[in-house]
Chains A and B, each alone.
Chain A
Amino acid sequence: MPARTPYTEVRFSGLLERPLILRGELEYLGPGRLGKRVDTPYREQTRVENGAASVQRGDRPARTFSLGQAPELEGFLRGFAALLGGDAATLAADFTLSASGDAHAWQLVLKPRDERLARRVGEIRVDGSERTPLCFVTREGDGDVAVLLVDRLAAAKLPARPSQPQLEAICRDGATP
């Protein structure tokens, strides 16, 4: 996976009536470090490094908060960065892994080893093809689901109010060219 990739993120939340759709660019900055830019529907730049996240929106000064306030969150982001960076060792340290499919269309399911993290994040499912992950589906403890489409899937056409099955289909099909 390249150091940068466009993404489309769809969040389903119990707090929301309809899913939230974000588009922008993800950047892998090295082990444990991640950059995320939101272009629409608003502009935001987030950087995660050294256990802290800094969020900058529009012209407002950046807000920094510590991930240590929820230490489990750091494990999640570490795993995420490891996935993007192809760092298998870090990944296996934080998650139990189960793989299926073949090299052309594979699926990886990650379950957190840390109990506290498991309460927040049920599992992360990754669909990919060859050496490229294309789709991340994160099921959070409270039932919220975030679907992240990257690389060539970032440009996939979505309905105005996509449903979870629709997105899961896009992930599956995206991996089988």
Chain B
Amino acid sequence: MRARVALLAAWLAALAVLAAFALHSLRIGTDLRSFMPPPRTPDQKLLMEQIGEGPGTRLLLLSIDGPPEARLAGLSRGLVAKLRADARFEQAINGAFDASALDEKLLPYRWLLSPTLDAHALDADYLADQLGQRVEDLASPAATLLKPLLPRDPTLEVLALAQRWSPPKAPVVRDGVWFSSDGAALLLAQTRGAGFDPAAQGAAIDALDAAFRALPDAGAARLTISGPGWFTVLVNERTRGEADRIGLVSTLGFVLLLLLAYRSLPSLLLAGLPVLSGGLAGIAALALLFGSAHGITLAFGFTLLGVAQEYPIRLLSHRRAGEDALSSVRALWPLLATAIVSAAIAYLAFFASGVTGLQQLAVFTIAGLLAAGLSTRYLLPRVLPARFRDVADHAWLARAVHALDVLPRPRWLPWLLALLGLAVLWRAPGPMWENDLAALTPVPQELLLRDAKLRGELGAPDVRYLLVLHAADAEGVLAASESIEPRLDALVRQHVLDAAELPSRYLPSIATQRARQAKLPDRATLEQALAQAQAGADLPFRTGLFAPFVDDVETARTLEPLTPAAFAASPLGTRLATMLVAREDGWLGLATLSGVHDAAALAAFAESTHGAVRLLDLKAASESLVVAYRERILRALGLALVLLALTVVVALRSTRRAWHVLAPMSLATLLVIVVERASGLSLSLFHLVAVTLAAGLGLHYALFFERPVADPAEARRTLHATLVCVASALLVFGLQALSSLPVLRAIGLTVALGVGFHFCLSILMARARR
């Protein structure tokens, strides 16, 4: 008794140490990209960056409504000021004219940046027209705004640039800020964190909410957030919330089931220890070998580790009256070891896949299964209470075994099922595979509609499409961007898209800047043109008023053209930096598009540039990554199956016996897929993982049923153990199958179906005849 308590204490202490180590040293990644296969081509690399870090995916769309407009405008200004001071946000804009966009030092550059000189010369005619308009401006309500600008900038180049740099399809500005058509204040905020990183986005959104609530009169106002980052957080929370709720109910059910089966609370609690040990061992192995793991890898790993719950159940069911737990487990061990070792060997195939996520999955699962198996063998029997009830004594179990024994088992039935299954599979409706990972964690339709509406009002860039310009250097990219500008403008007029934001909108190429520079008149010419304009149009301006203007033009004539590096220091430089990316093989320009109506026409346009411009479809490209990922999983699974078969043959030392074990397992797996496909489901990665778990469980059923036993009591114990396993798996995964979330439903339904098929077919095909 004392030895038992000491051992239990030591075990628990070891688990605590393991848990502390695992929690301390394993970093859990939440960025979807670390779960994806490593990018190989430059294109895939770009895609991986853009999926999370493209300017479009980091954009949050905000609207504030409730109070009257004047207060909304105040809230909008207050929120933007706070977000601009927050390091989690790269920029926040609400439509207010930002005079600091072009800082003082860059002011003379306005002649090189603005397209004005492309169409006009700074001659007497042009100046007369412009100055005439300024006279009119002086008498208009705009006068107080424009007066300070006039001496230095009588042609209002600064305003022309501000207009060029505001979003291409900006919402209406009222009270100084953007408003939607239904009277809500609109804002855009760009996070620093990646768009599909729930942790980073969660932190940014919490900060956003807090900043809004802290505004002086936020009271009755309502802040609405949308965009990829928000959806990431939302979906993450919903999935976790529902998984937790289902997990709680199914854990309760599982506990009740085991209490019913073994009538012993201590046994029940102790039976949980092997799986706990397995999970912690798996995490510790990950921490040692990788240092970090993706959240999805862990979720998959814990799903696959569900197999290990069978080990203690087998031990509890197979305890024999008059014998201690240790000798019971010794009798059971060869078979259990076969199951554990064959599964572990099969998962080695994942390790060879070359995908970090799958390797982590393999390490976690193998370490977990071994730890759970070994603790069931060497620790659990030594701490189990000595008093128990031999389940072979149940009368109903004897009747059940008898019923199974007399059940007709036609040999042709499995073949018929296999043939029918293949036929159904061949004719099944819908696509075989689901490549859109987002389809498994869908965003509610009304939220998508709201997002589309906000996106349309704000003219915010499309998340899906991106134009990519490629050239040897930044100058080449900017030149290419300038050259396609007129063609894109034509496409906008043809309603192919609403707007495109090209890097050259912010910074023209050096060549263009030089061409504009060459058109600037020298001081004498300009002064003469000014005098001529004043006299010709009889303008009332004071003589010498425009001296700062003349000085600026003179300065601009000898400026070194602006480069992206020199521009980077200005507030707009950060904007440009996300659009100009250096690569090993040159430079890339990224143009965001908004309101894409005709993707085919855009693709045709890109095609016609002979590779200078490409249309990147992030959705299609990410789906191709999923396909690549799935192909690797399938290959790994195929290899795993071969390894598993070999291990089982070697362990049983008989191909005939191995066939009895492997055939029902394979057929059941086929039937699960057949049923799901026949009901129109497309298979995803999550289905594949679930099928693998079910197959692992099925292997146990078949192995134990196949075992020849002379003792009828032992046959009853085998049936009892299997029934408890099946019932608990059906309970846990059946509940998950009822979930409203496709991802949980996919796993739950697949495992529950699988357990059912594996159980029935094991009885039909594996159970030893007596």
A interface, CB within 8 angstroms of B: 9, 11, 13-20, 22, 38, 42, 44, 46, 48, 50-53, 55, 57, 65-71, 73, 77, 120, 140, 142, 144
Contacts and interface: CB of A to CB of B under 8 A. Distances in A.
B141 A16 contact: no
B183 to A, nearest CB: 11
A71 B150 CA distance: 21
A57 B141 contact: no
Q: Which 4 A-B pairs give the minimum distances between C-beta atoms?
A: A68-B176, A68-B175, A53-B141, A51-B175
A55 B133 CA distance: 12
B138 to A, nearest CB: 6
Contacts of A15: 138, 147, 150-151, 541-542, 545
B144 A73 contact: yes
A49 B138 CA distance: 19
Contacts of A120: 144
B140 A140 contact: no
Interface string B139-154: 1111011010011000
A99 to B, nearest CB: 27
Interface in B203-262: none
Contact of B144 (A22, A42, A55, A140): A140
Contacts of B96: 68-69
A78 to B, nearest CB: 11
7 contacts: A18-B540, A20-B138, A44-B140, A48-B141, A57-B136, A65-B142, A144-B147
Contact of B173 (A13, A68, A73): A68
B73 interface: yes
A17 B144 contact: no
B654 interface: no
B177 interface: yes
Contacts of B545: 15
B173 A20 contact: no
B174 A16 contact: no
A51 B174 contact: yes
Contacts of A142: 147
Contacts of B73: 51, 68
Contacts of A67: 141, 175-176
Contacts of A65: 142, 145, 173
B135 interface: yes
B97 A69 contact: yes
Nearest to A9: B139
A74 to B, nearest CB: 8
Given A16-B540, A17-B540, A69-B96, A55 B176 contact: no
B135 to A, nearest CB: 7
A108 B73 CA distance: 33
Contacts of A77: 141
Contacts of B138: 11, 13, 15-16, 20
Contact of A55 (B70, B142, B540): B142
Given A17-B540, A68-B174, A71-B175, 15 more contacts: A13-B138, A13-B147, A14-B542, A15-B147, A16-B542, A17-B543, A38-B139, A42-B136, A50-B69, A51-B175, A53-B140, A65-B173, A66-B174, A69-B145, A77-B141
Contacts of B139: 9, 11, 20, 22, 38
Given A11-B139, A38-B139, A51-B174, A70 B145 contact: yes
Q: How large is the interface on B (under 10, 10 to 19, 20 to 34, 35 or more residues)?
A: 20 to 34
Interface string B172-205: 0111110000000000000000000000000000
A110 B525 CA distance: 47
A71 B77 CA distance: 12
Contact of A46 (B140, B147, B543): B140
A22 B140 CA distance: 11
A53 B542 contact: no
B160 to A, nearest CB: 13
Nearest to B173: A66
Contacts of A52: 173-174
Nearest to B99: A69
Given A42-B136, A53-B140, A17 B175 contact: no
Contacts of A50: 69, 174
B622 to A, nearest CB: 40
Nearest to A48: B141
Interface in B541-594: 541-543, 545
Given A50-B174, A52-B174, A68-B177, A17 B140 contact: no
A66 B162 CA distance: 14
A50 B172 CA distance: 12
B150 to A, nearest CB: 6
Contacts of A57: 133, 136
Contacts of B142: 53, 55, 65
A44 B136 contact: yes
Contacts of B133: 57
B467 to A, nearest CB: 30
A36 B145 CA distance: 18
Given A20-B138, A20-B540, A66 B147 contact: no
Nearest to A42: B136
A26 B139 CA distance: 14
A56 B175 CA distance: 20
Contact of B542 (A17, A42, A73): A17
A48 B136 CA distance: 16
Given A13-B138, A53-B140, A55-B140, A69 B542 contact: no
B23 to A, nearest CB: 52
Contacts of A71: 175-176
A69 B176 contact: yes
